[in-house]
Chain A
Amino acid sequence: MEVIDRQEALITNYEALMVLREADVLNEADKRKQKDTSRHMCPENVTTLRFEALAYLENTACTSQSGEQLAQLKEQLLEYELTKGEILQILNLRPKSVVELHLLVEDCTERFLVEEIEQLVGIILEVLPNDADEAVQHQDEAEQSDAMDVDN
């Protein structure tokens, strides 16, 4: 056994979730194909890990994400100079407030103005919707459209 590259790439929780779900689907299909289920023995370490990892990830923000959303968010975040690690954490944790964003972005107050930070939070909430937040989102959109009318 040889480790060729210890860290070739960082991957998001979303990508890991996709692999886990695919493995789960394959496992179920295989179980059904095997009529004699006593012969189908998936090794214990694989089933335990798959079960626990899926249970954890299904409770995080990545369940409601899609490939297009991730690509869209990365594009919109290009103008803000964020490191790869910071973008990855934003995708995984989906910060909903300025406090949460301060945690993920180092030296936040030195690198960005207050408005830029609030803009960032807005972009994140818009591109990565979460079911629980849709009600709040509608409220925000209504407020924003009121503000635009006032400007006109």
Chain B
Amino acid sequence: MFVLTVLRDTLKIVPEDFRKTREQALKDAINEKYANRVLHDVGLCILVHDLVEIDEGFVQHSEGWIWIKVKFRMIVFRPFRDEVLVGRVRSAGAQGIDISMGFFDDITIPASEMPLGSEYNGSEGVWVWRYEGNELYMDLEEPIRFRVLETKFLDVSPPRPKIGDVDSVPASHAPPFSLTCTIAQDGLGLLSWWE
């Protein structure tokens, strides 16, 4: 689920943070910049793991803070193909179901990857798996085990607000990092099915 990625960047340490040790100030600056953000082709950054190399800091002549170049390792959420993960059912529709892991939400199971014999029950808004005469409902918020088929990265630019339309809600844009998964295999699906 998690990998270590080595990054190098120049971080800014403001005078307020001079009270901290150099390592702690750098780690805080890294976390502020990267935590909960998706790096294209890398994954969702969680927290900095450790610092590998710290260069000498320098102060620009017109500024009052220090820039420090640092090489560090970041914990990144990036499941590999065929990895099995556990999440919760977030929403369901005719196109499939969406799963959430709390810190990461863009996980979809398309209708083609649902177990054989399952179908969407429009009136109740959930998927049902008909197996050996049993009707197994995939209720929302149920813990579910799934396998990752594909990780997709989209290089997105920030959503542009429409000029003149102050109250408009920005249209939902494609997620920069999304997983397409399957539950069409023995052992996958709701945890309660296999206990």
Interface residues, chain A, with chain B CB atoms under 8 Å away: 1-13, 15-16, 19-20, 23, 26, 43, 45-46, 48-50, 52-53, 55-56, 60, 85, 89, 92-93, 97, 99-100, 102-104, 106
In the assembly, what is the distance between CA of A127 and CA of B75, in Å?
Answer: 26
Stretch at the interface among B5-13, B54-62, B110-118, B127-135: B5-13
Contact B5 A6 (CB under 8 A): yes
Contact A6 B187 (CB under 8 A): no
Contact B185 A103 (CB under 8 A): yes
List the 9 closest A-B pairs by CB distance, nearest first: A49-B36, A52-B103, A5-B6, A103-B187, A45-B36, A56-B102, A4-B6, A52-B102, A1-B9
Q: Is B47 positioned at the interface, with any CB of A under 8 Å from its CB?
A: yes
Q: Is B71 positioned at the interface, with any CB of A under 8 Å from its CB?
A: yes
Interface of A, secondary structure class, is: helix
Contact B4 A46 (CB under 8 A): no
Query: Which one of B4, B36, B41, B145 lies within 8 Å of A11 (CB-CB)?
Result: B4
Query: Which one of A3, A48, A50, A106 lies within 8 Å of B47 (CB-CB)?
Result: A50
Q: Is B32 positioned at the interface, with any CB of A under 8 Å from its CB?
A: yes
Separation in Å of the A109 CB from the closest CB of chain B? 12
**Complex interface: chain B residues within 8 A of A89 (CB):** 83-84
Q: Is B1 positioned at the interface, with any CB of A under 8 Å from its CB?
A: yes
Query: Which one of B37, B84, B101 lies within 8 Å of A56 (CB-CB)?
Result: B101
Separation in Å of the A130 CB from the closest CB of chain B? 13
Contact B188 A3 (CB under 8 A): no
**Complex interface: chain A residues within 8 A of B194 (CB):** 97, 99-100
Q: Is B31 positioned at the interface, with any CB of A under 8 Å from its CB?
A: yes
Contact B42 A3 (CB under 8 A): yes
Q: Specify which of B2, B101, B188 lies most central, judged by the most chain A CB atoms within 10 Å of its CB.
A: B2
A53-B103 contact, Cβ under 8 Å, with A60-B86, A93-B84? yes
**Complex interface: chain A residues within 8 A of B186 (CB):** 99, 102-103
**Complex interface: chain A residues within 8 A of B31 (CB):** 23, 43, 46
Contact B5 A3 (CB under 8 A): yes
Q: Is B184 positioned at the interface, with any CB of A under 8 Å from its CB?
A: no
Contact B2 A49 (CB under 8 A): no
Q: Is B68 positioned at the interface, with any CB of A under 8 Å from its CB?
A: no
Contact B187 A102 (CB under 8 A): yes
Separation in Å of the A37 CB from the closest CB of chain B? 15
Q: Is B94 positioned at the interface, with any CB of A under 8 Å from its CB?
A: no
Q: Is B140 positioned at the interface, with any CB of A under 8 Å from its CB?
A: no
Separation in Å of the B13 CB from the closest CB of chain A? 15
**Complex interface: chain A residues within 8 A of B6 (CB):** 3-5, 8
Q: Is B149 positioned at the interface, with any CB of A under 8 Å from its CB?
A: no
Query: Which one of B9, B41, B49, B187 lies within 8 Å of A100 (CB-CB)?
Result: B187
**Complex interface: chain A residues within 8 A of B82 (CB):** 85, 106
- Known pairs A20-B47, A52-B102 / 13 extra A-B pairs, C-beta < 8 Å: A3-B42, A6-B42, A8-B3, A13-B1, A45-B36, A45-B37, A50-B47, A53-B103, A56-B101, A93-B86, A99-B186, A102-B187, A103-B147
